[in-house]
């Protein structure tokens, strides 16, 4: 499922996206290449920028032509370029057979040929959690002593400090109290001795420090990077989560950090460092490789997987995408072997020994002493031999877990090296130990400080000289001597039955806000690029440049929330508030710019000042950071009209039923050409027992919006020649007859057990007593889809962990309130169910759409409103289950960051919580008969298939207790939230793709891709602040940058002006840069 980046122009420009292209390896080996110097100067990109004189239409058509004809997207790098230097050091790739046979079925299926898959590991491991002694999760590690006679042990000790951009403190609090001092310490202590090294990861802190640092410190920092003492690893704004984050946001945060780094310091990383995300996704490996990274390091994987990989010396491997049979995505991975990334768990298998070499734990420093009651002591001439040999023993034991004699030993922890005294204690003591080891040839070892790049360079050099391949190993053309692996590393467990599946759902309200910010930022970037290309007036340029700083802030606030304690929902309450406030501010800023941009593109902007308020406002707005969005009420008096402008951020024309809120049902909808548009009104509903009707009205109407275009519709009162909106018919079901029929609707109260809603393609049947879905008849086929809403009691769960007590129990009782809406454009069942609580924690709506002849008619829309508020719901976790008649054998598929799918299988040998997986946007299950049940989600949640035919999704969780992973609190700050799903039932999926025996992930259908795109990149509606008089001819207002839609298997990930200020400072005759990142979908 590759994506490509296309940039066209006549001259090169700095680009992070240029790294996202596939790289081509030379067809010959280059052994013993001289090591390239750290890349201090800026990298000359390989792609070209298209000039502004070319129209947007021509640019996109050329893009499509290039992709379809498979023309090369970039010139080859010159041999003297830094990029070429990196490529020459890598081995050529080679192709293998592009099919693998599923053994039981005999069906051939394209997929990667690898030595190890995580699926195979799960099937092989017995998950007994056996006590290994000193290395509790491993075994007693021993060595003979002659392992290093032929190749001495080379130890690289890598000092580092893990700085969370928000966790127990906000990012600003951490910066002021610790991170700024750590960066000061790094500069001061490294300058004292050229043998000292350090690595740094988070650009969010480095950029903040750069604003405060003196010119002398900045220059010193640059010099340290230039001479190789200080390496920037990863280069992202944060170390992002890999379970909940969408690939769009991952690209954004990596781009923002690396562009700042390149523009400010002139450095481009090639090694990634991810020691703290709670599980790892191959999507991240894929993106890193496409961005030009060569190596990556990971830490938090299931302890049983680590043990199994270590037994076979497979902790270093080539990570290959499961669908990549051409080996174009291979990246080298180092997995740390032990429990944690702190010093007691990094020097070797015995933490009681390693802790003695964490010299910041000596008395006098602020850190706790070693819990094993053997504390570090200052190294001196009297004890150096004994201490060095004790440390070297751990190094040797650790090295036996890997294939080469090159060993990586991280030296750091959270927010370490905060003072010069602490740093000196580490550097001083270790240097004395190194000097002793290095001065004794009989030890066959060399130890020194190093960077990640030092380590990987030495390892690759050794792998060039010594063949470490195991017999029959497939390996990789990327680097010989190591196994190839495919799959993901979810769900993470760090000990016993403690599975980190709770954070897939923690703080779901803010997970939803994250996605809203994502699609709003994407739409804003697109509109800004269109404004730049469409309007050449000075006022337009002022509009875009004046917004540049707020646009940068929005990018960075989105990037910040991708931190592995942000989008995960695993931070302190006040830190979550800080994240939320930042996102809310950016949402308001982005919507303001969008409202101004549509004025420009529609030609209705006449004032000269960019500060003049817009004529439009967003149709939905939030009053504060933790409030649900509220629809604007459109008020139209007799003889007036209010315009509604709709922006379509997708590449295909949209034909949808859209909805706005009006205060009167007597309205007419016109398009921009004064043509009458069919519409429907129905009462607005709310989550309030006994008072379901708000008194306002939902107006649904058909809308057609061109690809990446704008269209204007008019809501009028009193327009002759058009019928007013058709009132829907209502059916009311209430336990106490408390529902009264709202005016002017026609209501009925049926005495029936089953109620239906339908459109041309499907009929949905509901049980009246429970208000839950029972079955679906689609295009003549019957589907059993039993909906259940339940709760887990979870006294052991916390922000990170899901540890339920038994199975979930249904919470729905008979005879709640239900409203059925029957109309020509939308039909709905709204249920406010009866539960064991006076205030029910959930209400839900099920909708189908009619009369639009689009994909909207083929889906089922489910919306759950959840309020886990108050002590009644302490230690409760709310789920929805869809119990279908699909024979899936408890095998299902969930997406990885919205980019690709992963095959999931429920295992009895691990607990229920270990069978929960992340669901960033999609999960589906498929039977042997080819029927597929898919659930698309607008936000990240957790999913499981605990019984045959079941798909279970967790909606929210409220937890009193801390789960002993450092946070120090539960999750009690629940907000009212909505979870929106689009359910797709497909019966035409090929039955030859046997999901039971096929080890590879199945892909979503093209229809499913479109459904997901419509859900995650919705239409943006803006309403005129003032009504117009109907006596004045309404202007035809539309904007369509494309002559036709792009093919439906292409998705524009991003279309943007990377640096608006730089763009605007160029003369009109100079080439200008837009960036378009496009993803091709699998067919």
Question: Catalytic residues, which ones?
Answer: 276
Q: Is 392 helix (H, G, I), strand (E, B) or coil?
A: helix
Copy the structure tokens of residue 966: 């450092």
Q: 1078 forms bridges with which residues in the sheet?
A: 4, 1052
Pairing of the two strands 1020-1024 and 941-944 = unpaired
Q: Is 674 helix (H, G, I), strand (E, B) or coil?
A: coil
Q: Is 865 helix (H, G, I), strand (E, B) or coil?
A: strand
| Helices 508-534 + 538-546 axis angle, to 10 | 160
Residue 537 half-sphere exposure, CB side, CA atoms within 13 Å?
13
**Residues, the chain:** 1083
Copy the structure tokens of residue 313: 């010396």
Q: Is 927 helix (H, G, I), strand (E, B) or coil?
A: coil
Please, what sign has the CA dihedral across residues 198, 202, 205, 209? Answer: positive
CA distance from start to end of the chain: 9
Angle at Cα 18 formed by Cα 1073 and Cα 292, nearest 5°? 160
Q: What is the DSSP letter of 1050?
A: E
Query: How far is the C-alpha of 388 from the C-alpha of 706, rounded, in Å?
Result: 70
Q: In degrees rounded to 5, what are phi and psi of residue 46?
A: -95, -10
Query: How far is the C-alpha of 27 from the C-alpha of 45, rounded, in Å?
Result: 22
Query: How far is the C-alpha of 290 from the C-alpha of 294, rounded, in Å?
Result: 10
Residue 1058 CB neighbour total at 10 angstroms = 22
Angle at Cα 1036 formed by Cα 1031 and Cα 1042, nearest 5°? 170
Q: In degrees rounded to 5, what are phi and psi of residue 546?
A: -70, -20
Nearest to 208 by CA among 240, 181, 246: 181
Give Cα separations from 20 to 24, 243, 334 (angstroms).
12, 21, 22
Angle at Cα 1005 formed by Cα 999 and Cα 1010, nearest 5°? 140
Q: Which residues contact 555 (CB under 8 A, 6 or more apart)?
A: 252, 256, 521
> Strand (E) positions, 544-667?
616-618, 620-621, 630-631, 633-634, 640-647, 654-662
Q: 617 forms bridges with which residues in the sheet?
A: 1023
Query: How far is the C-alpha of 631 from the C-alpha of 987, rounded, in Å?
Result: 37
Nearest to 492 by CA among 193, 801, 202, 191: 801
Query: How far is the C-alpha of 846 from the C-alpha of 830, rounded, in Å?
Result: 7
Query: How far is the C-alpha of 70 from the C-alpha of 88, rounded, in Å?
Result: 24
Query: How far is the C-alpha of 712 from the C-alpha of 696, rounded, in Å?
Result: 23
Q: Which residues of 39-76 are buried (b: 16+ CB within 10 A; e: fewer)?
A: bbeebebbbbbbbbeeebeebbeebbebbeeeeebbee
Q: Which residue has the tokens 């110097």?
A: 37
Query: How far is the C-alpha of 463 from the C-alpha of 406, rounded, in Å?
Result: 10
Residue 499 CB neighbour total at 10 angstroms = 24
Copy the structure tokens of residue 780: 């003549």
Q: Which residues contact 294 (CB under 8 A, 6 or more apart)?
A: 86, 90, 270, 271, 331, 332, 456
């Amino acid at each position: 499922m590759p994506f490509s980046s296309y940039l066209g122009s006549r001259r090169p420009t700095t680009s992070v996206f240029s790294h996202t292209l596939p790289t081509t390896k030379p067809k010959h080996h280059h052994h013993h290449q001289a090591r390239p110097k750290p890349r201090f100067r800026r990298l000359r990109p390989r792609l070209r920028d298209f000039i502004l004189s070319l129209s947007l239409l021509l640019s996109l058509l050329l893009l499509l032509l290039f992709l379809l004809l498979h023309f090369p997207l970039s010139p080859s790098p010159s041999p003297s370029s830094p990029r070429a230097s990196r490529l020459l050091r890598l081995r050529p790739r080679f192709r293998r057979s592009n099919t693998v046979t599923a053994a039981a079925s005999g069906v051939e299926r394209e997929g990667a040929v690898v030595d190890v898959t995580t699926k195979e590991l799960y099937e092989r491991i017995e998950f007994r959690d056996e006590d290994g002694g000193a290395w509790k999760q491993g075994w007693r590690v021993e060595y003979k002593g002659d392992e290093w006679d032929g190749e001495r042990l080379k130890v690289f000790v890598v000092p580092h400090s893990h700085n969370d951009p928000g966790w127990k403190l906000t990012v600003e609090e951490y910066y002021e109290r610790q991170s700024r001092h750590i960066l000061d310490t790094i500069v001061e202590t490294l300058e004292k001795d050229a043998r000292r090294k350090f690595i740094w990861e988070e650009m969010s802190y480095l950029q903040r420090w750069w604003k405060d640092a003196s010119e002398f410190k900045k220059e010193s920092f640059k010099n340290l990077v230039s001479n190789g003492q200080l390496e920037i690893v990863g280069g992202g704004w944060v170390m992002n989560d890999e379970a909940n984050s969408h690939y769009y946001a991952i690209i954004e945060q990596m781009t923002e950090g690396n562009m700042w780094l390149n523009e400010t310091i002139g450095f481009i990383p090639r090694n990634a460092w991810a020691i703290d995300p709670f599980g790892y996704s191959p999507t991240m490996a894929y993106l890193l490789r496409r961005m030009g990274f060569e190596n990556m390091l990971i830490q938090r994987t299931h302890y049983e997987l680590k043990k199994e990989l270590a037994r076979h010396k497979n902790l270093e491997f080539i990570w290959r995408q499961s669908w990549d049979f051409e080996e174009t995505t291979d990246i080298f991975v180092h997995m740390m072997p032990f429990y944690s990334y702190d010093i007691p768990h990094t020097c070797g298998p015995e933490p009681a020994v390693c802790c003695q070499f964490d010299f910041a734990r000596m008395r006098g420093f602020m850190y706790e002493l070693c819990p094993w009651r053997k504390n570090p002591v200052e190294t001196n001439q009297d004890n150096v031999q004994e201490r060095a040999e004790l440390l070297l023993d751990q190094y040797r034991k650790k090295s036996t877990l890997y294939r080469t004699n090159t060993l990586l030993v991280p030296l750091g922890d959270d927010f370490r090296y905060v003072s010069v005294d602490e740093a000196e204690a580490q550097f001083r003591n270790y240097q004395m130990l190194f000097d002793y080891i290095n001065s004794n040839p009989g030890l066959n070892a060399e130890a020194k400080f190093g960077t990640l790049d030092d380590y990987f360079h030495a390892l690759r050099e050794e792998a060039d000289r010594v063949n470490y391949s195991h017999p029959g190993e497939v390996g990789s053309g990327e680097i010989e001597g190591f196994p190839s692996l495919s799959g993901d590393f979810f769900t993470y467990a760090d000990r016993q039955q403690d599975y980190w599946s709770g954070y897939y759902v923690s703080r779901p309200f803010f997970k939803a806000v994250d996605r809203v910010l994502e699609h709003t930022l994407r739409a804003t970037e697109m509109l800004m690029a269109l404004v730049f290309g469409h309007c050449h007036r000075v006022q337009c340029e002022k509009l875009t440049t004046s917004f540049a700083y707020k646009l940068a802030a929005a990018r960075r606030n989105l990037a910040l929330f991708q931190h592995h304690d942000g989008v995960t929902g695993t931070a302190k309450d006040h830190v979550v508030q800080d994240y939320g406030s930042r996102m809310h501010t950016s949402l308001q800023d982005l919507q303001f710019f969008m409202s101004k941009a549509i004025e420009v593109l529609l030609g209705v902007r006449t004032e000269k000042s960019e500060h003049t308020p817009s004529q439009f406002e967003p149709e939905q707005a939030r009053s504060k950071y933790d409030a649900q969005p509220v629809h604007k009420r459109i008020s139209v008096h007799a003889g007036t009209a209010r315009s509604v402008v709709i922006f379509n951020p997708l590449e295909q024309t949209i034909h949808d039923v859209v909805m706005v809120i009006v205060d009167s049902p007597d309205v007419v909808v016109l398009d921009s050409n004064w043509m009458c548009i069919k519409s429907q009104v129905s009462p607005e509903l709310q989550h309030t027992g006994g008072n379901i009707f708000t008194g306002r009205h939902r107006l649904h109407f058909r809308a057609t919006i061109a690809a990446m275009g704008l269209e204007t519709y008019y809501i009028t009162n009193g327009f002759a020649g058009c019928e007013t909106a058709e009132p829907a018919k209502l059916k009311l079901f209430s336990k106490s007859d408390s529902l009264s029929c709202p005016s002017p609707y026609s209501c009925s109260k049926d005495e029936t057990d089953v109620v239906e809603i339908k459109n041309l393609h499907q009929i949905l049947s509901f049980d009246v007593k429970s208000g839950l879905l029972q079955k679906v008849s689609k295009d003549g086929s019957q589907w059993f889809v039993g909906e259940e809403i339940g709760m887990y009691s979870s006294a052991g769960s916390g922000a990170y962990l899901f540890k339920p007590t038994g199975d979930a129990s249904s919470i729905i009782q008979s005879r709640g309130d239900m409203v059925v809406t029957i109309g020509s454009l939308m039909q709905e069942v709204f249920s406010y169910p009866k539960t064991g609580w006076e205030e029910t924690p959930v209400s839900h709506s099920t909708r189908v759409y009619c009369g639009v002849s689009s994909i909207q008619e083929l889906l089922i829309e489910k919306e759950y409103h959840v309020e886990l508020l108050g002590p009644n719901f302490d230690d409760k976790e709310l789920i929805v289950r869809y119990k279908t008649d699909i024979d899936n054998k408890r095998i299902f598929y969930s997406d990885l960051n919205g980019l690709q799918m992963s095959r999931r299988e429920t295992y009895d040998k691990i607990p229920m919580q270990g069978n929960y997986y992340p669901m960033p946007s999609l999960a589906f299950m498929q039977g042997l008969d080819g029927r597929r049940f898919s659930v698309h989600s607008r936000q990240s949640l957790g999913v499981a298939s605990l019984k045959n035919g079941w798909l279970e999704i967790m909606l929210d969780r409220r937890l009193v207790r801390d789960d002993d992973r450092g946070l120090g609190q539960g999750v009690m700050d629940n907000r009212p939230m909505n979870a929106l799903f689009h359910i797709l039932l497909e019966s035409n999926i090929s039955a030859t793709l046997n999901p039971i025996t096929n080890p590879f992930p199945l892909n979503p259908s093209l229809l499913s891709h479109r459904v997901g795109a419509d859900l995650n990149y919705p239409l943006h509606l803006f309403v005129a602040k003032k009504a117009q008089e109907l006596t004045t001819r309404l202007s035809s207002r539309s904007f369509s940058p494309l002559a036709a839609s792009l093919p439906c298997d292409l998705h524009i990930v991003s279309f943007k002006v990377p640096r608006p200020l730089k763009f605007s400072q160029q003369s009109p005759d100079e080439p200008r840069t837009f960036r378009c990142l496009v993803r091709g979908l699998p067919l």
